[in-house]
Amino acid sequence: MREKLHHKNISYIKEIFLEYKSVYSQKDLYNLLFELKEKKLVAQNLTSIDFFTFLQESLSIKTYSVYSEKIKKERYSIKELDNYQLSNSFEKDSFFSMTTALNIQGLSSFMNNFIFYSKELTPKYNPFLEDKVLKQIDIDNAYSKPYRKTKNIAEYKNNYFIYLTPKHTSQAGVIKYGGYYVSSINRVLIEMIINVQYFKSYKTVIDCFQPISNKLEPNEIYKILKEFDLIYPYFQLFGFTLEKLGFKKDELKIFKEQTKSLIFYTQKFNNINNTSNNNTYWNIKEFIEF
């Protein structure tokens, strides 16, 4: 019986497979098959199903399936993939964020079974917000409503992949580390304060950063925060937060200059039965946990 072309050229196919990508989507496999046909390394009538069977049997390709209501991803690789390698293949131009970025950089091990990855939205312009004057009642109304969490969550082998879509900042504060794009420690502080609903409370975020606060750079945090261009008075909240983390008021003048007469909160106060402290210097009301 005549040996099939793809079996005959298995060593060349494996070489190309490893060079082409380390993690494949289904579309990538179709593209690879097309390339192999162009190079005449497989028969022109080889179907995608037969090609996939060949990859499984001859190259021991592994299938990684991550499925939920909102996340539906299937990836293929010869190599054993860890959670970072797997989720890094899910979205083009994405980066690891929040606690995952800290964990990858060796700054923390907090919530290491949650894999946060983000892809910024495209720039949006809302002319109605340009002339809007923020009032105390706007803040109070917004911060008395429940938090919203993304539904883009998938459980995978006792871990959770969480896909976030933050507003466009041209990836301000995103750095390359260990072969991945990740949020810098300065950006992570911003992400976690803004998205405190994923971390139980504001105090949880403070506790996470207390041991690594000496690595924070207030000026860099200020620059990244400017790029976020947030509606609410977050500058005063970050001035307050950095002072709690050990920085002196003299080091935080740029935040004080942006402090408004409006009172802002460390977190939303719906369903909170705890007391609060008022900081008049930063115009911040901090909710205290017992």
- For 166-214, give the DSSP string: PPP-SSTTEEEETTEEEE-HHHHHHHHHHTGGGGSSHHHHHHHHGGGGG
pTM: 0.92
In which order are the strands placed within the sheet that holds 284-288? 264-265, 284-288, 275-279
- Structural domain includes residue 251: yes
* Residue range 132-191, pLDDT digits in tens: 789 999 999 999 999 999 999 999 999 999 999 999 999 999 999 999 999 999 999 999
Residue with tokens 């609410």: 232
Model confidence at 289, pLDDT cuts 50, 70, 90, reads: low
- Structural domain includes residue 69: no
- Structural domain includes residue 76: no
**Residue 97 shares a structural domain with residue 182:** yes
- Structural domain includes residue 99: yes
**Residue 47 shares a structural domain with residue 94:** no
Nearby residues of 45 by Cβ (< 8 Å), 6 or more positions away: none
- Structural domain includes residue 55: yes
Number of domains in the chain: 2
Model confidence at 128, pLDDT cuts 50, 70, 90, reads: low
**Residue 55 shares a structural domain with residue 126:** no
**Residue 155 shares a structural domain with residue 112:** yes
- Structural domain includes residue 240: yes
- Taking 60 as the threshold, does the pLDDT of residue 273 lie above it? no
What percent of the chain clears pLDDT 70, i.e. is strictly above it? 94
Residue 1 has a pLDDT of 41
**Residue 32 shares a structural domain with residue 157:** no
**Residue 18 shares a structural domain with residue 129:** no
Section 101-112 average pLDDT: 97
Q: What is the gyration radius of the CA atoms in the chain, in angstroms?
A: 24
- Structural domain includes residue 70: no
Residue with tokens 């080091």: 251
**Residue 148 shares a structural domain with residue 207:** yes
**Residue 88 shares a structural domain with residue 22:** no
Nearby residues of 62 by Cβ (< 8 Å), 6 or more positions away: 76, 77, 78, 79, 80, 81
Which of 17, 45, 60 is at the close of a domain? 60
Residue with tokens 């991945």: 180
| Alpha-carbon gap, residue 4 to 2, rounded angstroms | 6
**Residue 155 shares a structural domain with residue 19:** no
**Residue 87 shares a structural domain with residue 56:** no
**Residue 51 shares a structural domain with residue 168:** no
- Structural domain includes residue 130: yes
**Residue 52 shares a structural domain with residue 94:** no
138, 151, 83, 118: which is closest to 228 by C-alpha? 118
* Domain housing 14: 5-60
Residue 269 has a pLDDT of 84
